[in-house]
Amino acid sequence: MAIYILFEGFSHGLSAIPYGLTMLKLSMSVLALYLLKRFFGGATYTSDRLMHSKAVMITGGTSGIGAAVAHDLASRGAQIVLLTHHAPSDPFLVDFIMDLRAQTNNEMIYAEQVDLSSLHSIRLFATKWIDNAPPRRLDMLILCAATMTPPFRKERDETEDGVEANWGVNYLANFHLLSILSPALRAQPPDRDVRVIMTTCSSYAAGTLDFKDEEFQDRGFTSAKKAKASAYGASKLALMIFAHSFQQHLTAYKRPDNQPPNARVTIVDPSWTRTPGMRRFLSAGSLWGLFLYLLTWPLWWLILKSPEQAAQTFLLAALDPELGTGVGGKMLRECREVVPLRDEVRDAGVGKDLWEMSEKMIEKLEKEGVERRKRKKEETERDSTEAKVKTKDANKSSGGSKASSSSARRNRKAT
């Protein structure tokens, strides 16, 4: 039957086949859609490497790209430590971990509570981690967590420490976390392949860093005060500069066993992806924006990667044997090495200025945090004391009223 239809088509043209022209147009449309989807989906990385006994720490591992990376590495047998702002007893987190364990057949999946918008929370976790003796195993640290302030927002998003949210979460939190965990990374045995993977975005090319701006040095306003759209790009630019500085920091360390450094930093640009953060950005953080996003969802489905597609370059950075040797500080995009578009990314002088400024900023913010927590504790104690005094006075009044009532009853009885 099919051969006869094809023969008729070749002999007498498409008009001889019922709905032939319509079917051809439909087939061409489906083919074009498939090719576009393959193009926007990006490159794919395949590897059969297993990760048994490897300890991998991931930020942002409960949603988006981080969740896809965590799922793949867990299915390869890696021990996964999820850093999340949820408490380990949170029902959502408990269900997420249980599902991930069942899907990957891997029970070595845990969670640690770390709020990246709080420098104090980061210090509590990181110091507890490095205080362990002997040093805990840590083969890989993947930094996927990030925030993106929606456009047209009148209020300025801030972290718990009063820092602009993009700068605080995307850059300062990662700087603080790695600065404290640095001894744990350098203390790993020389035969281990230690990797630090940071996430960037093409918007870094439009970011600006003004080290002479007092507001920038004080609260990391970056360019958000003048142009909110560039705050995200500035945070990613700073993170890339820090990545190269941190690689130099790891390389300059002289190990006690006189072995060469075994920790390497890799920067990954996953390209635009359909993550919760991207949905929040495209919808401008509003209900009307979400409604428009849902109406135009087929367009975003076509041109934006899925989290699984975006995770491919992360998997290359985590699994490729060649990236575990040689010089670190490489940047990857679409599963291949690329050169950063900004020269200051590899500028040692800019990296030094940014590092020193970040240390001073964190020192100041942590001092303010100590004072803030101290005042809050004093207020809590004062309120507790006042409540106890009021309760005591109320009990006395109640006791006096009862005594008066008893006395009145006795007098009436005597009468």
> So which residues are the catalytic ones?
236
Positive or negative: CA dihedral 172, 254, 322, 63: negative
Measured CA to CA, the distance from residue 222 to residue 165 in angstroms comes to 11
Rounded-to-5 percentages of helix, strand, coil across the chain: 60, 10, 30
DSSP state of 200: -
Measured CA to CA, the distance from residue 54 to residue 108 in angstroms comes to 10
CB-neighbour burial class of residue 228 (10 A; exposed 0-12, middle 13-18, buried 19+): buried
What does each C-alpha distance from 59 to 72, 88, 122, 190 come to in angstroms?
15, 14, 12, 25
Given a contact cutoff of 8 angstroms between Cβ atoms, the answer to whether 319 and 47 are in contact is: yes
Structure token pair of residue 331 = 């940047």
DSSP secondary structure letters along 127-165? HHHHTSSSPPP--EEEE-----PPTT--SPPB-TTS-BH
CB-neighbour burial class of residue 191 (10 A; exposed 0-12, middle 13-18, buried 19+): exposed
Measured CA to CA, the distance from residue 376 to residue 364 in angstroms comes to 18
Given a contact cutoff of 8 angstroms between Cβ atoms, the answer to whether 112 and 132 are in contact is: no
Given a contact cutoff of 8 angstroms between Cβ atoms, the answer to whether 176 and 115 are in contact is: no
What does each C-alpha distance from 138 to 125, 159, 163 come to in angstroms?
14, 28, 30
